[in-house]
Amino acid sequence: METKLIDDPVQDAVGRADVPLVPGRDADVVARPARGKTYEDLIIERWRSAVRFGGPEAAERRREHLVYAAIKQGGALAALAYIVLQPTSWVEWSGFAFFYVLNILGMSIGYHRYFTHKAFETSKPMRYAFGALAQMGVYGSLKRWCMDHRRHHTLSDQPGDIHSPYVDDYGRPLAGRKGLKHAHLGWAYGEATTNPDMYGKGIVGDPVIEWAHKTRYFWFAVSAVIAPGLWGLAFGGPGAVLGTIMVAGFLRLALALHMIAAVNSFGHRYGYQNFKDLDQARNNLFLGYLTLGEGWHNNHHAHPRGVSTSVRWYEIDASAWVIYALEKLGLVWNVQRPDMHARPHHR
């Protein structure tokens, strides 16, 4: 794959008839363009400052995601063969359930609601705990994830969005399976990376985020092998170690990754919207329950800083319940509770 710097794909795309700019989105939600400028100008300005193309960052991200994909998907396939060929018991499957919940919480609370959206505040030891838990969720570098996700919110489903099923890295329209593939995990193998000068404030240089970034492969090993292995040993003895690593390590990691990635792909295409005219984010019943609340994605796009993603009574957000419990215990505070029914304003 190419790793050289590409001159200026944004310039290349400007004025092209197939660039799917969506001018005049709800004026309460997107920033207003400066006097004399149009919404198209604003979107292009933001796109240009949001993204870098090629270079070592893109190559490093590609390498990292290839390592994860090879080990997780390869391990998950081996686990499926193992399940067919070997008897498994409650030890492997209780580990699967336990680590799945922990994995999703690492992504939902760690990567997403705390480090990216600052939906609450907490102590230094708890920040390290959330940092480790996030990296144990194994969705790539926490530092990169936070910046990427901010870009996703400011440019969602517009040129410059990191993972939209409607537009690629170069502003070209996407549809069908190709769009889903790009939004799911395809984006990680492309050339466009997030500009840290634009989105790195409070992230780059944060000691906990930098520490999590540096130690991320260690947490990957803990999540995939060490913790499930110990679970197997504790509850089933040495004979259960391999099976628990297979089922509660590799198979669980692959499932959790695809569930959360599906919020970005299927969750921007299939489902219903409580808030119209924002972008294409949807609330999806299947994803909402299985991702412990992350799949109420339209609600989240409407109120990104809110600790909860729930608007209607049946939109159960188990991740927020965990944060409320931590709040009761005094471990987190300043929990952000916007009126989730309110129409979103300027972001």
Question: Which stretches of the chain bind Zn ion, using CB under 5 A?
Answer: 281
39-50 and 142-154 helices, crossing angle to 10°? 170
Residue nearest to Zn ion (CB): 281
Residue 306 Cβ, how far from Zn ion at the closest point, in Å?
10
Helix/strand/coil for 276: coil
Residue 5 Cβ, how far from Zn ion at the closest point, in Å?
28
Of residues 177, 165, 193, 172, the one with CA closest to residue 60:
193
Give the nearer residue to Zn ion in terms of CB position, either 248 or 281. 281
Sequence-ordered list of residues with C-beta below 8 angstroms from that of 108, at least 6 positions apart, any chain: 260, 291, 292, 293, 294, 319
Quickly list H helices, 86-175.
90-105, 124-137, 142-154
Give the nearer residue to Zn ion in terms of CB position, either 99 or 145. 145
Give the nearer residue to Zn ion in terms of CB position, either 51 or 281. 281
Residue 297 Cβ, how far from Zn ion at the closest point, in Å?
5
Give the nearer residue to Zn ion in terms of CB position, either 185 or 281. 281
DSSP string for residues in 277-334: SS-S--B-HHHHHHTTTTTBHHHHHHSTT-S----STT---HHHHHHHHHHHTTSEES
Give the nearer residue to Zn ion in terms of CB position, either 118 or 214. 118
Residue 157 Cβ, how far from Zn ion at the closest point, in Å?
8
Residue 63 Cβ, how far from Zn ion at the closest point, in Å?
25
Q: Are strands 192-194 and 51-53 parallel, antiparallel or unpaired?
A: antiparallel
Residue 194 Cβ, how far from Zn ion at the closest point, in Å?
14
Give the nearer residue to Zn ion in terms of CB position, either 212 or 281. 281
Environment class of residue 227 by beta-carbon count within 10 Å: exposed (0-12), middle (13-18) or buried (19+)? Answer: buried
Residue 206 Cβ, how far from Zn ion at the closest point, in Å?
18
Stretch (H or E) spanning 178: helix 176-184
Give the nearer residue to Zn ion in terms of CB position, either 92 or 315. 315
Q: 292 with 101: CB under 8 angstroms?
A: yes
**Distance in Å from the first CA to the final CA of the chain:** 37
CA dihedral 56, 8, 167, 282 (to 10 degrees): 70
At position 244, the amino acid (one-letter code) is T
Give the nearer residue to Zn ion in terms of CB position, either 281 or 287. 281
Residue 281 Cβ, how far from Zn ion at the closest point, in Å?
5
Residue keyed to tokens 């993972």: 163
